[in-house]
Amino acid sequence: MADDLLTATGIDVTYGGQRTLSGHLVNGIKVLHGVDITIRRGETVGIVGESGSGKTTLGRALLRLVNVSAGTIRFDGSDITHMPDARMRPLRRRMQMIFQDPMASLNPRHTIRRILVEPLLLHGVASDAKAAGRKVSAILERVTLPQSCLERNPHELSGGQRQRIGIARAALLEPDFVLADEIVSGLDVSTQAQVLNLLKDLSTDLGLSMAFISHDLSVIRAICDRVYVMRNGQVVEEGPCDQVFAAPSSPYTRMLLDAIPLPEVDPQWLGRGMQSEERKTPQ
């Protein structure tokens, strides 16, 4: 369909094993089994499941960070399943990832300024360092961080501030699609609300399509339009969040809902200000 940005059909991912003369993998560990997923333009899709369900592997497969052993992945109409690296490189800017552990994904030896400026110059989003600096200053304001953060290293920031830097780095490249992998799992409840609120605002303002991977069903319900429920490397249920949460058709989804507390989302929870996090901001 014209409004589909990213589609995956019949995706298998196998780790290890050997490839036969016919090109098939044997004796490997099959992690994904015939997964279909569609992400439309401007929507946020949740991918949820227990640990080991294959949700992170699926996310990485969509970004071509792991190879698929079967199936097809199409991005904006182009088949990228086995696209050579040289042809994939221009698409990398349009497909960004926000990692679960910002400390591990930010170079500890670089200042925040360098971390944010270098991708702009590498992908040609900014013509020179001066133009890149202006974009970086603007995005820091957008994610409510002080300009003084630019001269600091990642370890000098709080966990919530580092996660906002990760969000800023992805948004700076003006992508079409962002994959967020368990990005609030290590944050306290108040900081989670701030980060989710920021993501919702950015996805609306920039028209982003987003896949949000989480084991936390309350987070998925708060931020996503549709949800895919995974178990043992397969999608067992898919649909609008309201429909899936109100009347799950899969017994496994019903079991997840019964097993994990789902308190009513306070309307003020996502709209809360960022005062508590700002009090932690280095001066």
pLDDT of residue 262: 46
Q: What contacts 222, CB < 8 A, 6 or more positions away?
A: 196, 265, 269, 270
Write the CATH number for 86. Answer: 3.40.50.300
> What is this structure's pTM?
0.84
Cβ–Cβ under 8 Å, residues 103 and 162:
yes
42: left (phi over 0), alpha (psi -120 to 50) or beta: left
45 shares a domain with 112: no
For the chain, what is the domain count?
A: 2
279 shares a domain with 256: yes
| Average confidence score pLDDT of the chain | 87
pLDDT of residue 42: 92
- What pLDDT, in 10s, does the model give residues 193-252? 888 888 888 888 888 999 999 988 888 888 899 999 999 999 999 999 999 999 999 999
> Three-state SS for 98?
strand
Given a cut of 70, whether residue 167 has pLDDT beyond it is: yes
- In a domain, residue 24? The reply is yes
Q: Give Dmax over CA atoms of the chain in angstroms.
A: 61
pLDDT of residue 271: 52
- In a domain, residue 71? The reply is yes
- Distance separating alpha carbons of residues 45 and 173, to the nearest angstrom: 21
183 shares a domain with 76: yes
192 shares a domain with 260: yes
190 shares a domain with 145: no
User: What is the band of 119 on the pLDDT scale with cuts at 50, 70, 90?
Assistant: very high
Tokens of 239: 């649909």
Q: Which domain holds residue 53?
A: 1-94+177-201+209-283
- In a domain, residue 99? The reply is no
- In a domain, residue 151? The reply is yes
Tokens of 83: 């696209």
> What's the Cα-to-Cα distance from 142 to each of 8, 168, 172, 201, rounded to whole Å?
32, 8, 11, 10
- Distance separating alpha carbons of residues 124 and 92, to the nearest angstrom: 12
> Three-state SS for 162?
helix
pLDDT of residue 178: 95
pLDDT of residue 200: 87
User: What is the band of 261 on the pLDDT scale with cuts at 50, 70, 90?
Assistant: low
76 shares a domain with 186: yes
- In a domain, residue 251? The reply is yes
18 shares a domain with 74: yes
